[in-house]
Amino acid sequence: MGNSYFDLLNQASTFPQRHFGLTHDASNLTFHGLDLMDYIDEYGAPLRLTYLPDIHKKIKSTQHLIEQIRAEIHYPGNYHYAYCTKSNMSAQVMRAVLSSTKHIELSSAYDCDIILKLLREDWIDKNAMIICNGYKNPTYISGIQALLQAGLKNVIPILDTMDELLFYEQLDEKPTQLGIRLATEENPDFSIYTSRFGIRPNLVLPFVLERLKDHDTMKLVMLHSFVYTGIDDSAYFWNEFNKTLDLYASLRNEISTLQYLNIGGGFPIQQKLEYEYDQSAIMTDIMRRIMTVCIEEGVKVPDIVTEFGKFTVGESSCYITQIIGVKNQNDREQWYITDGSIMTNIPDIWALQESFLCFPINHWDKQYRRVILGGLTCDNDDFYNGENRLMLPDISITDKPLYVGFFHTGAYQQLLSGQGGVHHCLIPEPKHIYIDRLDDGSNTVCRIEELQSAHTSLSLLGYDV
């Protein structure tokens, strides 16, 4: 039995797998088929990398899978894949999404400005569903009106409160279609009992009958329900889903315009090497349950809408850092100091204690040891130890730099870290490259966002530079 890092990983799990492989000499990591050392040699580190073709592949493969299920079980409704913009709003990502699906879910006022910009660039189909979720402040309401005035035909505001309807009734350009978000119960482990989003279930039907059933201009077309823990095979998920189905049937008995059941997002991404999630089985179960309830209640089967955000973009990106120093603080703990901040570049590690796939980029043929990664900020929480199981190549036996990658970081991390802003201890944002595939199958860097400069940071802080 060997004692290289590759040997260690091969003993613990199957490797190569999914997005990961090794170069021909088995010393460097590949991600989506990209030799990451080639990009490090050209662009340096720290480096954020986004591989856009994975977004297209993820959307198309999911659409194909669900269409297969629909055909196999004879589900009479249609399926619509919408993208949840808050996961990643960059122009490159949005264009990659829109090359594969046309439906979009928004969550705040400035989202509307993104849609209007993309509409002017002919990226938005005027018949696409633009689902407007979230609590609506006056700026968001104005943004929704701007979308309607721009000629978008399927703008669907989702009522988060009953009073929200009053705002639309006062607009010059009123939406003709509305949705309602159902307030779901939170996971029993959560500190709050009921989600702050949506309308209480016992109030939905009376409100619809009183305010929407015979409305002159606006019709209820969508029931929206989202379980924060995602779509999984748990008693909690199915309990909330079944309550949503019962409410859909009750509403559909009264409202013939109700067409869509929006189950939100929630397909997981891979965050551990041992990754098992049967999308086909759970979507089959969802569709069968819908059909069963609708047949029992004598109502029309709805079209299904999903709002996959993290699932769409999460696995397209990685964050790469160089180990610039080693510190031994006691006999058991060895620190590898990185050339950037872990807590600001991947805030879910610090805020949610979330685990990410973490691999060395090079030196897979070297011996390994247990380490702790330390960030550059002067903050005690700026570290990552992989639940005390992080093994990396031992760089005491080589004079070449070690590079380490955090993978599947494409959702939320940049925006939560305050992209373009000032960061903790003034540690700069890393360089970011976006990679796309040309028609001949070759890869090309289509956009480079440079390492944040001291000039930029000081200007943001009000210094005259």
Task: Say which residues have a Cβ less than 8 Å from residue 352's Cβ, sequence separation at least 6.
Answer: none
What's the pLDDT score for residue 398?
67
How many CB atoms sit inside 10 A of residue 283's CB? 24
Show pLDDT as tens, one digit a residue, over the chain (465 residues). Answer: 478 898 898 887 778 888 899 998 888 999 999 999 999 999 999 999 999 999 999 999 999 999 999 999 999 999 999 999 999 999 999 999 999 999 999 999 999 999 999 999 999 999 999 999 999 999 999 999 999 999 999 999 999 999 999 999 999 889 999 999 999 888 877 888 888 999 999 999 999 999 999 999 999 999 999 888 889 888 999 999 999 999 999 999 999 999 999 999 889 999 888 788 899 999 999 999 999 999 999 999 999 999 999 999 999 999 999 999 999 999 889 999 999 999 999 999 999 899 899 999 999 999 999 999 999 999 999 999 988 889 999 987 667 899 999 999 999 999 999 999 999 999 999 999 999 999 999 999 999 999 999 999 999 999 998
Q: Are 249 and 289 in contact (CB under 8 A)?
A: no
The pLDDT of residue 1? 47
CA distance 223 to 227: 14
Domain shared by 318 and 296, yes or no? no
- For residue 394, being part of any structural domain is answered with yes
Beta strands at 177-181 and 29-31: parallel, antiparallel or unpaired? unpaired
User: Residue 63 falls within a domain, yes or no?
Assistant: no
Structural domain ending residue among the three candidates 293, 308, 323: 308
Question: Would residue 246 count as lying in a domain?
Answer: yes
In the chain, the number of structural domains is 2
In terms of residues, how long is the chain?
465
Kindly state the helix (H) or strand (E) to which residue 280 belongs, with its residue range: helix 279-297
Beta-carbon contacts of residue 168 (< 8 Å; ≥ 6 apart): 141, 144, 157, 174, 175, 178, 218
Whether residue 58 is contained in a domain is answered as no
Q: 379 with 332: CB under 8 angstroms? A: no
The verdict on 10 and 98 lying in the same domain is: no
Question: Rounded to whole angstroms, how far apart are CA atoms 332 and 24?
Answer: 35
Helix (H, G, I), strand (E, B) or coil at 191: coil
Are both 92 and 28 inside the same structural domain?
A: no
Pairing of strands 317-328, 403-407: antiparallel
Q: How far is the CA of 229 from the CAs of 226, 233, 239, 244, in angstroms?
A: 9, 11, 13, 16
Both 238 and 332 in a single domain? no
User: Which phi and psi (to 5°) does residue 118 adopt?
Assistant: -70, -30
Last residue of a domain, one of 308, 326, 344: 308
Q: Please report whether residue 116 resides in a domain.
A: yes
Output the domain CATH number for residue 389. 2.40.37.10
240 and 155 assigned to the same domain: yes
CA distance 87 to 70: 27
**Is 408 domain-assigned?**
yes
Question: Is the Cβ–Cβ distance between 430 and 401 less than 8 Å?
Answer: no
Output the domain CATH number for residue 265. 3.20.20.10
Residue 132 DSSP SS3: strand
Model pTM score: 0.94
Residues 304 and 325 in one domain: no
Residues 299 and 322 in one domain: no
Tokens of 335: 């620190």
Task: Give yes or no for a cis peptide into 46 (omega within 30° of 0).
Answer: yes
Can you read off the two tokens belonging to residue 464?
């005259």
Does residue 122 sit in the same domain as residue 265? yes
Last residue of a domain, one of 289, 308, 327: 308
Cβ contacts of residue 448 below 8 Å, gap of 6+?
Answer: 43, 431, 432, 433, 434
In whole angstroms, give the CA distance from residue 181 to residue 253.
18
Could you list the beta-strand ranges (E) of 291-411: 303-308, 317-328, 334-338, 357-360, 368-370, 372-374, 383-384, 391-393, 403-407
Residue 245: other Cβ atoms inside 10 A: 21
Residues 378 and 298: beta-carbon distance below 8 Å: no
Statement to judge: residues 303 and 323 lie in one domain: no
116, two tokens: 């209007």
- 110 and 165 both lie in a single domain: yes
Residue 59 lies in a domain: no
Name the region of 266 (left: φ>0; alpha: ψ -120 to 50; beta: rest): left
Task: Look up tokens 């939320």; give the residue.
Answer: 412
Residue 163 Cα distances to 133, 167, 170, 199, angstroms: 15, 7, 12, 10
Are both 300 and 322 inside the same structural domain? Answer: no
Q: Is residue 65 part of a domain?
A: no
Domain encompassing residue 93: 75-308
**Which pair of tokens denotes residue 316?**
């397209």
101 and 31 within one domain: no
Query: DSSP class of residue 208?
Result: I
Which tokens in the block code for residue 174? 């009123």
Q: Which candidate, 132, 127, 18, 57, places its Cα nearest to that of 313?
A: 57
Q: Residue 153 and residue 129: Cα distance in Å, rounded?
A: 8
DSSP string covering 219-247, please? EEEEEE---TT-S-SSHHHHHHHHHHHHH
